[in-house]
Amino acid sequence: MEVDSITSAASPLINDTFLPYRAAANYLSEILHQNNHPMPLVGIICGSGLSGLSNAMDEPKTAQISVKYSKIPAFPKHCTVEGHKGEVVFGTFAGVPTICFRGRFHSYEGYDMKTVVLPVHVMRCLCVKVLIVTNAAGGLNPNFHVGDLVCVKEHFALPHLTGMNSLMGPNDNELGPRFPSTGNTYDEHLRKTAQTTANTLNMNFFKPHGTYCFVSGPMFESKPEGRFLQQIGGDCVGMSTVPEVVAANHCGLKVLCLSLITNEVIVENDASHEKVLEAVSNRSEQIELFVREIIKGLGDTKFLETIPDLSPISLDKATAQFQKQKQEKRDKIKSRLTISFRTLVFGATCLTVGSLATTALMGKRRV
């Protein structure tokens, strides 16, 4: 029997680990169909403080569709980190249908890696072609300063090399191969488009290439750790992004990654999340315009049309199986509660009868 199969020969059921993103995608797909909204071609994952990217979507805002994470099957109810809004927004950038995840899930919050990359797998199920992922990062390169925006070309992920990897476990062959290459993870055309757009907008703080280092967090890096990452070629460092990028590459999505430098690791002694959000706030409007113009360029040049359509992912059967499993879990909990309640009542009854009998016996002895 093939371990990585969508279904097994012995059972028609879909592997349990493949159900959450299929159920979530099916739910969102139905919402889009009900509102006669086009399926997205571009996906965006917003980093800390960058949830305002959805504000750059086309007017009118009434044409947008917002869905709270708490409403989506299999999604965590909310994001626990300040600066992450916890909702999905559907709209258009310069006419290009786009899905924007306003907030991400981090492994340091206690989520497993499959949950961390859940938005990516949902986008793949919706047949998104391009992923733009953003983050706030610490600067390692001495030539990178707070406020610089780095276009990531490569990454180094020590947690991935030591077993904390979003591709571990059964492989969903509908999404991608068991052993994907990571040699061309960050699409060259997208990086060139970002460079051209930055030149047009006179963004002198744009860095056209850099290596992003992924660490688990949640603490900020010590100076020796920063020096180590710097010596192996790291330009910036953060606690997210690479799991999502690796999952997107596995799924066949074209990836553009933008890292905003919010602190200088080797120099500063007092990094904090508040300072990160402040640095992001100072660049937020420029980044919103930048991303909008990048997507506009992808539409104007017909680049999106040159990307082959990804094969559709089967959703209906998975959703039915997912809902059945949820109901079975609820029934089990209800059954356990019922048994516990009955046991409690029986125990209380026995205690009451015993107490009354003891009282009666003591009364007879007194007489």
The first and second tokens of residue 161, run together, are 């090399």
Q: Can you tell me the distance from the alpha carbon of 255 to that of 144, in angstroms, rounded to the nearest whole number? A: 22
Instruction: Reply yes or no on whether 263 is catalytic.
Output: yes
Instruction: Reply yes or no on whether 78 is catalytic.
Output: no
Annotated catalytic residue, options 136, 203, 279, 318: 136
Instruction: Reply yes or no on whether 212 is catalytic.
Output: no
307-313: Cβ within 8 A, 24+ apart: 307/129, 307/130, 307/254, 309/127, 309/129, 310/124, 310/127, 310/129, 310/251, 310/252, 311/174, 312/127, 313/22, 313/25, 313/124, 313/125, 313/127, 313/174, 313/175
Q: Can you tell me the distance from the alpha carbon of 85 to that of 47, in angstroms, rounded to the nearest whole number? A: 10
Instruction: Reply yes or no on whether 87 is catalytic.
Output: no
Would you mind telling me the total number of residues written for the chain in this entry? Answer: 367
Annotated catalytic residue, options 25, 57, 69, 106: 106
- DSSP 3-state of 230: helix
Instruction: Reply yes or no on whether 155 is catalytic.
Output: no
- DSSP 3-state of 13: coil
Nearest alpha carbon to residue 123 among 310, 287, 299, 290: 310
Q: Can you tell me the distance from the alpha carbon of 265 to that of 275, in angstroms, rounded to the nearest whole number? A: 13
Amino acid, single-letter form, for residue 194:
A
Annotated catalytic residue, options 5, 66, 108, 145: 108
Task: Evaluate whether 317 touches 299 at the Cβ level (below 8 Å).
Answer: no
134 beta partners:
258
Annotated catalytic residue, options 29, 66, 109, 264: 109
Annotated catalytic residue, options 94, 273, 282, 314: 273
Instruction: Reply yes or no on whether 108 is catalytic.
Output: yes
Annotated catalytic residue, options 84, 121, 160, 250: 84
- DSSP 3-state of 142: coil
Which residues are catalytically annotated? Answer: 48, 84, 106, 108-109, 136, 239-240, 263, 273
